[in-house]
Structure 1
Amino acid sequence: MIQKLKNKLYSLDAHTLEVVKKSGASTLVKASGMVIGLLVSVFLGHTLGAEGLGIINLSNKIVSILLIFSLLGLPQLLIKEIAIAYHKKEWGKVGGYMLSAYKLCGGVAIIIVLIFIAFAPYLSETVFKDPKLSIPLTIALVAMIFQVFSRIFSSALIGYRKIWQSNLVNETFSFAVIGIVLAIMWALNIEITIVRTAIAYAIGRVFVTFSVGLYWKKLYSHKTPVSNKTKELFKSGRPFLLITGVGVIASSIDSVMIGWLSGTRDVGLYSVASRVALLTVFFLQVTNSALSPKLAALYAGNEIEEMNKMVQKVTLGLWVIGLLPLIFFFVFGTDVLSLWGHEFKEGYLILVVLSIGQFVNIATGASGLILMMCGYEKLHAYISILSVILNIILNYILIQSYGALGAAIGTAISIAFINIAKTVLAKRYIGVSTFPNIIIKNKFNDLSQK
């Protein structure tokens, strides 16, 4: 059996094999981050309860939305441009893109942070009706400035094909530091409160930023003169801002609207169920990180057939992998949620609904990434905007009637809509089908050509 798997692996084309190899290291790093993140979440579920965990997650969700607007859509653009510049060994362009990104995003982030710190008490007391949110939100806003720079470094690492290192920055490293800080508090019998938890998260963000900054400085040691890319980045980043902005809003607006229309306790229940459901798309996130630079390079070389082979083989593996956690959550979902505490069992139906939506996400493969890496950012942005509007409307209607479960239903419908639409568009405009070479592929191709 093992020998057959080895033979199958080595029979892959060079591009797919590189993605698999890169994904292997990324999988280990991302899996470590996932495990650490789950352990931190379980620990906080027991120490803070659903309401306290909801406050921490709500502040993080608000900041995640603001973070995207601070980044101006540049992370995906940087991956694309730096990957091409790295391939051509144009080091001056790499330096120019990075320096311009620092100035643009750093300046915007400071302005946004100052504005929202001023309005934090109003948001907490009037909008979300929970005064305990104010201080954790303020702390998270300050830490956001450091997150902006760590995201820029992370994108550059992907462009340099340092995939697992980038995943280390985005997920694992930060959670590891947060976990260590919380463990020290627990060992010293320091009471773990909501505010102290927010401080632990901030320490993690700051530590990661300085660490990856030093790594990038070591990695990029070229003295080539750099040119100012500020105007180019600002102009070219707008379609990516729409894409990434609506993507993050789509993934965060549910929790924010629950906090607004239902309460922080429901945010806590929903956030745990959502975190568990996202395990379904774990491997999609990993392979997308490895696929990004390959897709940009292959499309630049007009190697469409090679792209088809690569993404279809990757998606076939994702189909098989995605079914396993979906079935597991259907059967053992209540037991899984009980790890956070008895009150979190209430989130079982939320978990089931979100898991179905995320399976549709993984089953359609890297269709959205293909559109972004192949010059169809605006097309991707338009369909993403429609999905976000649909998500907001459904959440507003359903949360008022069904609480957090209503948010799960609205979010699952939106996820299915956007991913099916992106898959059809990738086939129609680029000629790349993410569906594996099975019977359903022929039916899908007929649909995309109508």
Structure 2
Amino acid sequence: MTVELILKLPHHAWSQVKQAFFRTEKTRILLWGSIGSLVVRAIGMGLRMLAGILLARILGATGYGIYAYAVTWLGFLTIPTIMGLDQVLLRFVAAYKETRGWSALKGVVKFSILLGLAAAGVTTLFSISFVSLFSDSNWDFQATMWITLALLPIVVLGQLRQSALRGLNHPMVAQIPENIVYPGLLLLFAFGASLTMKSPLTVIQIAVANAAAWVGSFLTGTFLLARRMPYPVSASEPSYQKTEWLKMVPPLIFIGGAYHLLSRGDLLVLGIVGTSREVGVYSIVSRGAELMLFIYDAITLAGASLFSSIYVTGDYKELQRFTTLATKTILWISLPIFFILIGIAPWFLGLFGAEFVEGYGVMRLLTTTYFIGSLSGFVITMLYMTGHQRDVAIVMGVMAIVNLALSFLLIPWLGITGAAIASGTTLILLKGTLVIVLYKRVGIISLPFSFKRACGTQQSG
């Protein structure tokens, strides 16, 4: 290869990028939305990492395990409580914005918020009562669970607000409350308290700081949504198409619970058959491996509503080109991150404390499975957007059962390694199966590889 040819490579690469991302308005939005999401998530990642290091060092593996277990249950209960309304909002807000259906847009936002708030209130009362009656008598555990579970309405409404902003094509703004405001406030509260308190902070005090941070995040998100809502929406009377919206809800409730069992079932089972120390170590290990999803999450947040907008037009050729662009971008930007995370795993875990370093092999295993799974792009959201949530529900249900069975089988034998094997195996099976389902139902291949095929006809289903 000549020197002249080498010098031309950057220019050629930039020309390819411009051709891919500046081709249409949607691809330009994908580019700038992804860049904005990456910036917000990078800042949020740093803040969350600092907060995690601080909390792990304050509480130790056992105390952090109690805190992480409570937060995991909050996340688990959020999924069925939100009833898939976040996906309803994402799909219909994007569609109504595209067709300028301002009255329906206002109606779906208002309806989702009221229904989500009612469901969250009922679930919160039930879950706190359950903990009071049946949980361990350990006071630190009970109080941490009560404080954390009381946040459920705020977390549900926050996710609904985020979906509405994403549907309005503001993916970067949508992430600011949860990715910058929340971890920033948590870090500030915990660090400030650790400096002013004479005795070491307890897990209950950390739970209170976490609650205060969520309240600040919620108030910020409410303000941002009000500022970004199009003026015609505010001036319109809401119209309600409840039958159409609620058709998505039953399978999405099931999907939400199944997906959380897939993504956090390993940790929940570990809390049942393992120790608080194992939960604490595995929580930090999982957090490290989830850095692999940094690019994947940013592009998914930017691209999901755009996929819905293109799908509404019926242009399946453009839909395939858009999907391939998104998955190729995930692959090539994630690849160097994968090798970096594999290399720095022991050093990274050492930041949280010496007792966490033992999990570096598990972090490498989870990082590998997350990387492979991310190559399918936002296939789950694509199936939601195209109305095939029932297929997702079936696949999710089967994989959730597989994950729980593997977790109960492997964790008593292999500990946190068994949890990682169970989680990774089911994740790859899930994504691979859904790629096939998307192709069969919609005719779109959600992979970063090219195939010679006719694209342009929607499959029945």
**TM-score for both structures, normalised by structure 1:** 0.93
Residues 287-366 of structure 1 aligned to structure 2 (within 5 Å):
287-366=299-378
1:194 aligned onto 2:196 = no
CA distance in 2, matches of 1:399, 1:241: 28
Residues 427 and 433, structure 1, Cα contact 8 Å, conserved in 2 = yes
What do residues 162-220 of structure 1 show as CA deviations (whole Å, max 9, x unaligned)? Answer: 11011113322211111111122123245321011111111111111122112222333
Residues 28-427 of structure 1 aligned to structure 2 (within 5 Å):
28-125=39-136, 131-189=139-197, 191-220=200-229, 221=231, 222-230=234-242, 232-427=244-439
Higher mean C-alpha displacement, 244-253 vs 394-403 = 244-253
AA partner of residue 203 (structure 1) = A
**Structure 1 unaligned blocks of 5 or more:** none
* Offset, 1:97: 1.0
* Offset, 1:5: 4.2
* Offset, 1:394: 0.3
Residues 157 and 165, structure 1, Cα contact 8 Å, conserved in 2 = yes
Q: Percent of aligned pairs with the same residue?
A: 22
The aligned counterpart of 1:6 is: 14
Higher mean C-alpha displacement, 290-299 vs 231-240 = 231-240
CA distance in 2, matches of 1:118, 1:326: 43
* Offset, 1:334: 1.1
Higher mean C-alpha displacement, 28-37 vs 205-214 = 205-214
Quickly say closer, same or farther: Cα 1:175–1:329, change in 2 above 3 A.
same
AA partner of residue 128 (structure 2) = I
Root mean square deviation of aligned Cα:
2.0
* Offset, 1:9: 2.3
Quickly say closer, same or farther: Cα 1:442–1:231, change in 2 above 3 A.
closer
**Structure 2 unaligned blocks of 5 or more:** 1-8
SS in 2 for 1:340: coil
* Offset, 1:264: 1.2
* Offset, 1:329: 3.2
What do residues 113-163 of structure 1 show as CA deviations (whole Å, max 9, x unaligned)? Answer: 11111121345318xxx5532111100111111111111111110111111
CA distance in 2, matches of 1:285, 1:103: 28
Higher mean C-alpha displacement, 364-373 vs 380-389 = 364-373
AA partner of residue 328 (structure 1) = I
Higher mean C-alpha displacement, 252-261 vs 329-338 = 329-338
Residues 101 and 233, structure 1, Cα contact 8 Å, conserved in 2 = no
Higher mean C-alpha displacement, 217-226 vs 136-145 = 217-226
Higher mean C-alpha displacement, 406-415 vs 375-384 = 375-384
CA distance in 2, matches of 1:123, 1:331: 43
Residues 147 and 206, structure 1, Cα contact 8 Å, conserved in 2 = no
AA partner of residue 34 (structure 1) = M
CA distance in 2, matches of 1:331, 1:214: 41
CA distance in 2, matches of 1:426, 1:228: 30
AA partner of residue 177 (structure 2) = V
* Offset, 1:245: 2.6
1:16 aligned onto 2:24 = no
SS in 2 for 1:192: coil
CA distance in 2, matches of 1:198, 1:107: 24
Higher mean C-alpha displacement, 388-397 vs 307-316 = 307-316
AA partner of residue 80 (structure 2) = F
CA distance in 2, matches of 1:168, 1:142: 22
CA distance in 2, matches of 1:21, 1:210: 26
CA distance in 2, matches of 1:368, 1:46: 37
Quickly say closer, same or farther: Cα 1:6–1:323, change in 2 above 3 A.
closer
CA distance in 2, matches of 1:295, 1:381: 20
SS in 1 for 2:151: helix
SS in 2 for 1:297: helix
**TM-score for both structures, normalised by structure 2:** 0.91
CA distance in 1, matches of 2:319, 2:256: 23
Residues 44 and 180, structure 2, Cα contact 8 Å, conserved in 1 = yes
Quickly say closer, same or farther: Cα 1:407–1:123, change in 2 above 3 A.
farther
Residues 77 and 240, structure 1, Cα contact 8 Å, conserved in 2 = no
